[in-house]
Amino acid sequence: MTRTLNVVRMQLINRQTFVWVPLLILSGSFVLSLIIFSLIPYEGAKWGGAAQSTYWYFLALGVLAMSATFPFSQAMSVTRREFYLGTLATAGLASGILAALFIVGGIIEQATNGWGLNGYYFYIPAMWANGWWAAWFIWFAIGMLFFVIGFWAATIYKRWGTFWLTAVLIGIGAILVGMMWVIGNLDAWARVFAWFGEQGALGMAAWGLLLTGVLAGVSYLTLRRATP
């Protein structure tokens, strides 16, 4: 456990990667959203999609945590298992703190009528349908999913190189297109959309966390034979 915590400390040595850049993206997109809200001549509630920008960075963060830090960890005699657990723990910590910031922001937005502009950056009603704890869980699940996708892609790159990473991504794209073709031929789009509606934001977050677990498991199996 101590060595795993040392990996967390190692990941946080460069605070710019895990702390300052996400906060810069969050604050920058938030301020720009408020400016845009103030320019819209509409008195009803306004929602923007800029909040997702920080989570897209988590995708790159997963890549950086693997590609930039893994070689250094091996030089420090850290086992692959310790590196893997410590890196995921760091991602969990970052996702949890970011989700908490979104909850605090959402509470303020509800109390101030969207910063006095009726504009909402943090508060999304569908996510808050089951309370603030559900909204926190959803934001946390999104952060972990994006991070692990980036980490998983980086492990494939480290293990097999650019060609096979590209081949895997193309293969996944082909599978998704094939699934859409099957759904269209079965005229089942209405049932698919109904299923998504039944799950709700909380249910989809739970499915996303399950996918995160699967990708994390595959990442570990790949990491065991990856070369720095």
**pLDDT tens digits along 9-18:** 888 887 888 8
What does the pLDDT average to over 104-132? 94
Structural domain count, the chain: 1
Per-residue pLDDT of 43-102, as tens digits, reads 889 988 898 999 999 999 999 988 888 888 888 888 899 999 999 999 999 999 999 999
Which pLDDT score, from 0 to 100, does residue 1 have?
Answer: 67
The closest of 117, 130, 140 to 37, measured between CA atoms, is 117
Q: Is residue 27 part of a domain?
A: yes
- Alpha-helix runs per DSSP H in 79-161: 80-111, 132-160
Per-residue pLDDT of 134-150, as tens digits, reads 999 999 999 999 999 99
**pTM of the complete model:** 0.93
Q: Is residue 106 part of a domain?
A: yes
CA–CA gap between residue 74 and residue 227 (Å, rounded): 9
Which pLDDT score, from 0 to 100, does residue 210 have?
Answer: 96
Q: Is residue 113 part of a domain?
A: yes
Q: Is residue 50 part of a domain?
A: yes
Q: Is residue 178 part of a domain?
A: yes
Per-residue pLDDT of 185-228, as tens digits, reads 999 999 999 999 999 999 999 999 999 999 999 999 999 887 77
Q: Is residue 29 part of a domain?
A: yes
Contact at 8 Å (CB) between 85 and 4? Answer: yes
What does the pLDDT average to over 172-194? 95
Q: Is residue 228 part of a domain?
A: no
Residue range of the domain that includes 59: 2-223
